[in-house]
A and B are shown apart, each in its own frame.
Chain A
């Protein structure tokens, strides 16, 4: 990088920075869902997939797309490949145990546009199979292993779906709401005790 470029970048940064006299931006004002992006996403999805099964709403921080598991691969590929979306970074995969059924939540980020999106994949009650994203994002591997061991998801196409954080042969899914909070000794049968305690 030449010194000129450095100077240019320096001035650009200087312009971006707000003046200290301006009122303080609190967290409520930042990290909000991007309405412009929501419109782009809605348009793109409508164009590519008429009568799409996706519903788009908002969380406190992100644009949220509800997606059935069977359309996940298509949707993520679209999100990654389309130039106006260009989601090249999988931030996070988290499982959630809602009463309605197990849900897998993905967060994506686009380095090109600075957009974020959240995908909520709700599994039907009797089927916890979700296509794996390891082919698209290398970082999905460990995230999916973690979600699989904690909630019992089965990520189809994952090369190595072993336990990651728990013991290798432990076949429990501790983050399910049905799983009581208890000492591991009770779980292993070493100690007696009433399962579950509250703070």
Chain B
């Protein structure tokens, strides 16, 4: 990665030489810029490619010194090992993937159900100290997870939510509601309130107007928001590791991290598990790429 730092510096002198180059025609400069971009893209993508390679290498090639880039034997054993254990049954890792699906899915649905109506209300009506309320909501999302998890841990231990899926679902919902409200408020703001006013002139109540006219228009936004919430809970690690202890409840991130606990690490398996884990995220992010700016800033920045 030291490589990338060097690359980052190199555009400096190039930029300094610009004025003369511009006069002599921009062709050379375009070539340099494209080359710099290509190198940077290669550096950014190399770790991902290397992980993919590792996941399909045989073990002796994984640990080969010097590293083998091209001439290795391709095998899909590591991917099989992720799901099927030596006895032929499902692995604990595959169970943790299932747990992740349940926890991320249910918490996303809950966050959507709670967040969308709230976002609509914040967008449409005058609420006392609206700005302060919205700030408070977003700031709960900024709290350091390691700090929040201490009292949550004690709380869960008290009420029996420790090491349960419900406990994880609740905390993930609480963690996604601020995001859903902020993200959805932007989408609701884009739908003119006049639609609802017109419907109400026709005799609908406000609630019916929301349900029949605004909500259908919001569906694409709701889908995008839900996908982000899903990604956030799918990727979450801190709550998952501190609020669970058994394999039956543990979600995929702590389970995958647990693979490197022992004295010897099966990196082929780690790579395969990571890829299985990351693939849905990449597919989903591609689906919501239009809303990426809003999504990754928790709905705060919209373009």
- Are A and B interaction partners? no
Interface residues of B (CB under 8 A from A): none
